[in-house]
Amino acid sequence: MKTYLITGGAGFIGANFLKYMLKKYEKINIIILDKLTYAGNLENIKDNLEDPRVSFIKGDICDSDMVGKIFQQENIDYVVNFAAESHVDKSIENPGIFLKTNIMGTQVLLDAAKEHWSFGTDEKGYPLYTEGKKFVQISTDEVYGDLKIDYPDGKKLKVRCEEIEELLKIRPVIPKTFGKDFFTEKTSINPRSPYSASKASADMLVRAYHETYHIPVNITRCSNNYGPYQFPEKLIPVIIKNIIKGKKIPIYGNGRQVRDWLYVEDHCRGIDMVINNGRDGEVYNIGGFNEEQNIDIARIIIDKLYCVIKENPKYQTILKTDLKTINYDLITFVKDRLGHDVRYAIDPNKTVKELGFYPETDFSLGIEKTIIWYLENWNVFSLGKE
Ligand code: NAD
């Protein structure tokens, strides 16, 4: 039975990953380490805490004594490091905490893994590690910087990989793209915000610990996730929250920025594939193959939320406004984010070919599931608070 240390497991993706793993593996031991910052919410994992396979520790990944104790007391097989300050806007206001958690915290975890997983050295002096250990760093496509928009109106994506062509047969929607270029795992690191700079630094450290101390690692770089349990500071839950409250939906600049949207459960499946089959020391990009402009995300959610509520009158009591006010007039353009990245898009070839990963959730279905989740959980989660 494997023991996972999931840091940041009370946050959005970490909580989803916990649920995914508990459902998939009957025999598993999971330790959640989370500081419970404003973005971490025990409600996200409340039901799972009763599960004997799960234990929760409130703590900071920067606290080396505490992290060391966890490694001493538990036979950790995998570290999956989700813990991070994750909101770009906050990193522009206050970069310091991003550097501390995202970089120093990762170093503390790496040091603990190096110390507790190694049992001696080889003839060259490199540490030797117990079989089956792995450090997985959850990173972001934002470390690559941004890409140009070549096709402002989007065009059908030309399939660039035989495996995907096969997989596309089971998917009803042909993805569209807004540009010629994509991020591959070999794209140069070129972060443009304090957040992405801190994540890129952490990636470099993970890489350095692998090269210098031979720690078994993988780095995953995913695109924008959406789904249940996301704190309402990020685009999709902000849009849902504001529509329900009858408030304007703020869209940065001209709203033409392109993001590649990945349903969080698909991402969790991808991470599990990397843990099981990722080659030692490799980076894997995990994308949604689903580029959309921010302005269109707002429009899609407005349309979908209107339909969901119209078809399910029980949700009308949650609405703080009249159903007919749910229309595109809610969208308001606000001053653009400083240094706002224009487009992110992931080249899926490596992850598809090596791991067989493909995002299964069609965006239309994923967004509907997400909207319904927020409506169902409106009173429980902070989404409902002012
Ligand atoms: P989140 O902000 O929802 O959750 C982060 C979690 O980390 C929270 O539970 C928080 O309490 C915890 N945390 C923060 N600082 C900590 C510390 N010092 N010690 C222990 N716990 C701490 O973030 P998320 O969206 O779930 O993202 C998870 C990871 O995935 C992050 O590393 C992020 O950079 C990466 N990522 C996210 C996205 C996305 O679309 N959400 C995209 C690419 C990469």
- The string of pLDDT tens digits covering residues 304-318 is 999 999 999 999 999
Task: Tell me which residue of 255, 253, 268, 258 sits closest to 222, measured CA to CA.
Answer: 268
3-state helix, strand, coil in the chain (%, to 5): 45, 20, 35
For 2-384, CATH number? 3.40.50.720
Pocket test for ligand 1, best of 20, 56, 86 (most atoms within 8 A of CB): 86
What is the pLDDT, as a whole number, of residue 383?
72
Question: Domain limits of the chain?
Answer: 2-384
ipTM of the complex: 0.99
Query: 249-263 pLDDT, tens per residue?
Result: 999 999 999 999 999
State whether the beta carbon of 11 lies less than 6 angstroms from ligand 1.
Answer: yes
Q: Are 217 and 210 in contact (CB under 8 A)?
A: yes
Q: Please state the φ and ψ torsions of residue 315, each to the nearest 5 degrees.
A: -80, -10
Q: Report the separation in Å between the CA atom of 324 and the middle of ligand 1, taken as the mean of its atom positions.
A: 36
Ligand 1 contact via 226 beta carbon (within 6 Å): no
Pocket test of ligand 1: the residue of 5, 7, 13 to mutate, having most ligand atoms within 8 Å of its CB, is 13
Alpha-carbon gap, residue 41 to 386, rounded angstroms: 16
pLDDT digits (tens, 9 = 90+) for 226-240: 999 999 999 999 999
Q: Is 34 in the pocket of ligand 1 (CB under 6 A)?
A: yes
Q: How far is the CA of 37 from the centre of ligand 1 (A)?
A: 10
pLDDT for position 191: 97
CB neighbours of residue 105 within 10 Å: 26
* Whole-prediction pTM: 0.96
State the closest ligand 1 atom to the C-alpha of 105, by its place in the atom list counted from 1: 18
Residue nearest to atom 12 of ligand 1 (CA): 8
Low pLDDT (below 70) residues in the chain: 170-173, 382, 384-386
| Nearest atom within ligand 1 for CA of residue 231 | 3
Instruction: Write down the pLDDT at residue 384.
Output: 61
